[in-house]
């Protein structure tokens, strides 16, 4: 297993060890002791989620307001462009983002500590995404940032994404700058 830091504090790209031969592959997708030692992930995971999306779907950018979730993201089928945004106005990297391609082929995972906004778009015809979360989802605590916020200037690799009604109405970063 290898871990790579990013310019956003705590955000890691993880490459699990994959053992392949003519029959297929084997990988350990999570091991609490190994992930604590090699990636510093100490929070226990309390909820696992799976998401299926069709091509050109964009989900996000989502966060929990008062009960933020840490997330370990992986793709079991297809390819996505995964994005993490720093939404802490006191942070030196506020408004900056990391974007990484996750796929069934590259086996990469993305560790997102609590306190960031998260979203992704599907680059393949379909994609299955797995999330390990450090806190429980609470619908009344959900927040969002506009996927196309001009202050973020995210370079999404698709045009005309398919969005939910809710994701079409999220405010931009200015929501974090109000008194």
Catalytically active residues, by annotation: 62, 131
Here the tokens at position 113 are 């500590």
* Nearest of 177, 8, 176 to residue 92 by alpha carbon: 8
**Residues 55/125, Cβ–Cβ less than 8 Å:** yes
Kindly write down the DSSP assignment for every residue of 92-160, as one continuous string: TTTT-EEEEEEETTT--EEEE-TTEEEEEEE-SSEEEEEEEESS---GGGEEE--TT-TTT----SSSS
User: Which residues, at least 6 apart from 145, have a Cβ–Cβ distance to it below 8 Å?
Assistant: 60, 61, 63, 85, 87, 117, 152, 170, 171, 172, 173, 175
């Amino acid at each position: 297993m290898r871990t790579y830091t990013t310019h956003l504090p705590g955000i890691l790209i993880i490459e699990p060890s994959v053992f392949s031969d003519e029959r297929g592959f084997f990988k350990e997708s999570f091991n609490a002791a190994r992930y604590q030692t090699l990636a510093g992930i100490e929070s226990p995971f309390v909820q696992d989620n799976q998401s299926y999306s069709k091509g050109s779907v964009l989900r996000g950018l989502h966060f929990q307001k008062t009960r933020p979730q840490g997330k370990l993201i992986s793709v079991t089928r297809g390819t996505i462009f995964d994005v993490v945004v720093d939404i802490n106005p006191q942070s030196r990297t506020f408004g900056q983002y990391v974007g990484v391609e996750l796929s069934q082929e590259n086996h990469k995972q993305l560790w997102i500590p609590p306190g960031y906004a998260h979203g992704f778009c599907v680059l393949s015809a379909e994609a299955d995404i797995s999330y390990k979360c450090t806190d429980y989802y609470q619908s009344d605590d959900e927040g969002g940032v506009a996927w196309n916020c001009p202050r973020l200037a995210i370079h999404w690799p698709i045009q005309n994404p398919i969005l939910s009604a809710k994701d079409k109405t999220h405010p931009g970063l200015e929501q974090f700058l109000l008194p």
